[in-house]
Amino acid sequence: MRLVIRLPIALYRLGLGIVIGAAPVMILTTRGRRTGLARHTALEYRQHGNKFYLVSVWGERAQWVKNLIAEPDVTIQVGHRTFAARARVVDDSGEANRVTHLYRRQAPYLYDTLLAKLISEPSVFPRQAMEENETLTIVRLDRLSDAPPRIPPLRSDLAWVLPAVTMFMTALLGLLVAARTRRT
């Protein structure tokens, strides 16, 4: 499971951020509250205008939430685009309900199943989902227009791997074909 959760980060590092950009997954970069180092987390998001919304099913216990509470200036990457943003935990129940609706509208089965497990119920109904969103921590990211990110984004430092593997596989295939040709 950890591998699946970390896969989007690996894809960004391989230079395939555009692939991840097709799904509603972003790389959130926070500053570690103890170390001050950049911390990268792949998270599902919903966008409304210039606002991005994230939901933590672990509430404020999630490390990325603790980090952005300590330092609200973050960097977000969506596909090949990188933005500076300021994070804020949503405390307005009306805004929280709208965000819950955004998530449910795109993936009702997934969202309702997850929420049912969180509250230890066999199933959840739409109205109950709205009432139970207090068990979640909802974070709003407001884009800072034209401001450069204060925290360095995740780099495509492994972009050389795919061309290298392709060249190696092509050479290996060429050797296998040549060896087979010599035998016949």
pLDDT for 2 equals: 72
Note whether 156 and 79 are within 8 A (CB): no
Question: Residue 183 — pLDDT band, cuts 50, 70, 90?
Answer: confident
pTM: 0.74
Residue 48 lies in a domain: yes
- Integer Cα distance of 14 and 16 in angstroms: 6
- Integer Cα distance of 14 and 32 in angstroms: 24
Residue 163 lies in a domain: no
Residue 84 lies in a domain: yes
Buried b (16+ CB within 10 A) or exposed e, 10-27: ebbbbbbbeebbeebbbb
Residue 124: which CATH number?
A: 2.30.110.10
Residue-wise pLDDT tens digits, 67-112: 999 999 999 999 888 999 999 999 998 898 888 888 877 776 666 6
- Integer Cα distance of 20 and 166 in angstroms: 21
Q: Write down the mean pLDDT value for the chain.
A: 83
